[in-house]
A and B are shown apart, each in its own frame.
Chain A
């Protein structure tokens, strides 16, 4: 059986379930008797089991089965969610994640017998297969709502019989959803299916194991229903029960009102129409579709091309006087701009994706460091570019680890300082213009400037006779390569990655990082990122006759100088700008072309660029101006070229290379 083409969808969906299991466990720990959470966890485990079984991932299916059994006991009240149980479940979720990732990669599956045993010990009685459900549980399985009851009642008034059919598919049934479809098809020849459990959509998407139940209204007898289903291949067992509504509680007013609304829409109450209603209602819940990111990128790329063509058209139309043509061009301009915004919004995803894993992480870190930590998260709906979301996770994890490990003081120190015993870590995001600002903050000890000074001297980053250093200098030192503030390497953040690594990741995303701190009070790390990397503002310059684009955030200023302003220090050209000495280079020469040969009294255009606190001035032949450009890669044939970050097609159709400011300055 070849299921490889479903693997990606499986992986994406399974990870979602894993995330929701993690979230629910955290909620459960604080609210152990909440049956909604338990129901949700049970469903998640159950769905995962079904999916894994469908994919033929036996180990995964068996493991989720064990988990499901525990959740089942919990939700029926046979087992209580004590701390011990929750701890086992946390371990189980971790194991599940390892299993899942190993299964997805096709790498060998790690030993997990121990945790499986612990799960089993929780379910002291052997788990009963769901196919042997008793009649008594039937109604609970269906959860008939007032609408269903009314449908059955009306059906009975018309002389129809209502049956519940419990169907079990044979193990190893292929294309289960299609098999279910044949059951539906056969039954609809003799009657109407009012409801199914799991719901029709879950059946269609194979989110079930082997068993499903159907509620049928038909003129035929139970025996006929049984025979019809048994006449279908790959059916293991069928049980048909007659449904009796006698013990039905009287509907409350709200439910009656809701049902009336539906009545208005479908006054005939005819069977086949009712089926469509239920299915439609289930579908209308789907607000999202999963799309391959590749397709999305293609769309955005094409829109990028369109934007360029639009600019070309507008440029051609500039001198046209015909109002009709002009208004057509204006319309094109407007629609394209809107399309561009719409397309860009497709790239945007909420940062929640990244933040979601923090509660669990903080819980574990807090336990490991024996500190009490409150995690506060805000702005998780703030959106940013999908490509940035993937990269921002690790730096944030590092910052949070730092906060818990080095920031928040041990309990006794906190008491001595008159702080609450529980430390607080706040992680949040918000929009600020065309940027997203992400902050990680803790109410711990803040930066110890003296400690940093000593460490920097020890590392040879400062001369040993250096006097007092300022807070800003201390912060700058933190970002120096090879500097780590941890005086004791703990198992938490002793990962060999310092703040310099965090900084370089942020800068590779064209972002900035800053630290604000007050000793013994707080430390706040603020990261500022552009919302998107696909379209940037650039300064267009000319060097050796060709046009180049420089990302605008790297450009500090541009100025005109005369030849006599160029000074020489240690055989290097420099200019003095507001008491600052800046090295001066010729851009064309840097790129390996002929340097500019200006006349003696001619003024020169110079741009000042800054990366990682380093400034430098570059002579250019000409300045063209600012423009929004769509970044394109140079393609696989050319690959990476030092100093060039990509290329962009300009409004006039010309291609400009985008300069990589960080390598230029080195």
Chain B
């Protein structure tokens, strides 16, 4: 059965690019969230196999959202998406339970590798 993915990013452009890559590779994007609050709500509602999580977002940032999701589901598989120069944040996200990280600008192969390794 194909794995389900929730995409979180505050820019529609990034969500679109990610969705495009992910769906081309046999995953199903079941939902999109534009901020941390929405991501937590949609996670609880959709229970996707995988989540991509941007760090810098309005309302609730990605790290808080990761912590929140992990609190509800310690087995959640979250991949944090960062920009170069956000090293401390990425480490914090990994400590909070993120399984892997991606650095923008995204490379399609890297995105798929991360998804595949996070949920074999």
- A-side residues, CB < 8 A to B, are 1-3, 5-6, 174-175, 177-178, 181-182, 185, 231-234
Contact = CB atoms under 8 A, between A and B. Distances in A.
B119 to A, nearest CB: 11
Contact of A2 (B84, B94, B100, B117): B84
B103 A174 contact: yes
Interface stretch (B1-9, B31-39, B50-58, B85-93): B85-93
Interface residues of B, number: 18
A234 B110 contact: yes
B43 interface: no
Given A233-B110, A233-B113, 19 more contacts: A1-B103, A1-B105, A2-B84, A5-B85, A174-B84, A175-B84, A175-B87, A175-B90, A175-B101, A175-B103, A178-B87, A178-B90, A178-B101, A182-B94, A182-B101, A185-B95, A232-B100, A233-B117, A234-B110
Contacts of A233: 100, 110, 113-114, 117
A234 B83 CA distance: 17
B113 A234 contact: yes
Contacts of A177: 87
A86 B103 CA distance: 42
A233 B79 CA distance: 11
B94 A178 contact: yes
Contacts of B83: 2
8 contacts: A2-B85, A5-B85, A177-B87, A181-B94, A185-B94, A231-B117, A233-B100, A233-B113
Give the most central of A6, A231, A233: most B CB within 10 Å.
A233
Contacts of A5: 85
A433 to B, nearest CB: 47
A649 B103 CA distance: 51
Contacts of B110: 233-234
Given A2-B85, A175-B82, A234-B110, A181 B91 contact: yes
A232 B117 contact: yes
Contacts of A174: 84, 103
Nearest to A2: B84
Contacts of B105: 1
Interface of B: 82-85, 87, 90-91, 94-95, 100-101, 103, 105, 110, 113-114, 117, 120
A182 B84 contact: no
SS class, residues of chain A in contact with chain B: loop
Nearest to A177: B87
Give the most central of B82, B94, B103: most A CB within 10 Å.
B103
A231 B105 CA distance: 23
A185 B100 CA distance: 11
A182 B87 contact: no
Contacts of B91: 178, 181
Nearest to B83: A2
Contacts of B117: 231-233
Contacts of A232: 100, 117
A1 B107 CA distance: 11
B103 to A, nearest CB: 4
A53 to B, nearest CB: 14
A232 B116 CA distance: 10
A479 to B, nearest CB: 51
Nearest to A232: B117
A646 to B, nearest CB: 38
9 interchain residue pairs of minimum CB distance: A174-B103, A178-B90, A233-B113, A233-B114, A2-B84, A1-B84, A233-B100, A233-B117, A175-B103
Contacts of A234: 110, 113
Nearest to B111: A233
A278 B84 CA distance: 29
Contacts of A185: 94-95
Contacts of A182: 94, 100-101
Contacts of A175: 82, 84, 87, 90, 101, 103
B78 to A, nearest CB: 13
A107 B120 CA distance: 47
B82 to A, nearest CB: 7
Nearest to A174: B103
A30 B47 CA distance: 69
A470 B56 CA distance: 75
A1 to B, nearest CB: 5
Contacts of B100: 182, 232-233
A598 B120 CA distance: 97
B105 to A, nearest CB: 8
A231 to B, nearest CB: 6
A232 B100 CA distance: 8
B100 to A, nearest CB: 5
Contacts of B95: 185
A383 B100 CA distance: 48
Contacts of A178: 87, 90-91, 94, 101
A139 B110 CA distance: 33
Contact of A3 (B84, B90, B94, B120): B84
A582 B90 CA distance: 72
Nearest to B113: A233
B55 to A, nearest CB: 12
A6 B90 CA distance: 17
Contacts of B113: 233-234
Nearest to A185: B94
A506 B79 CA distance: 59
A1 B82 CA distance: 11
Contacts of A6: 85
A175 B81 CA distance: 12
A1 B103 CA distance: 9
Contacts of A3: 84-85
B15 to A, nearest CB: 21
A234 B85 CA distance: 18
A236 to B, nearest CB: 12
A178 B114 CA distance: 14
Nearest to A172: B107
Contacts of B90: 175, 178
A181 to B, nearest CB: 6
A232 B118 CA distance: 8
A233 B109 CA distance: 11
A181 B114 CA distance: 16
B83 to A, nearest CB: 7
A5 B120 CA distance: 36
B5 to A, nearest CB: 16
B39 to A, nearest CB: 21
Give the most central of B95, B100, B120: most A CB within 10 Å.
B100
B108 to A, nearest CB: 13
A594 B100 CA distance: 76
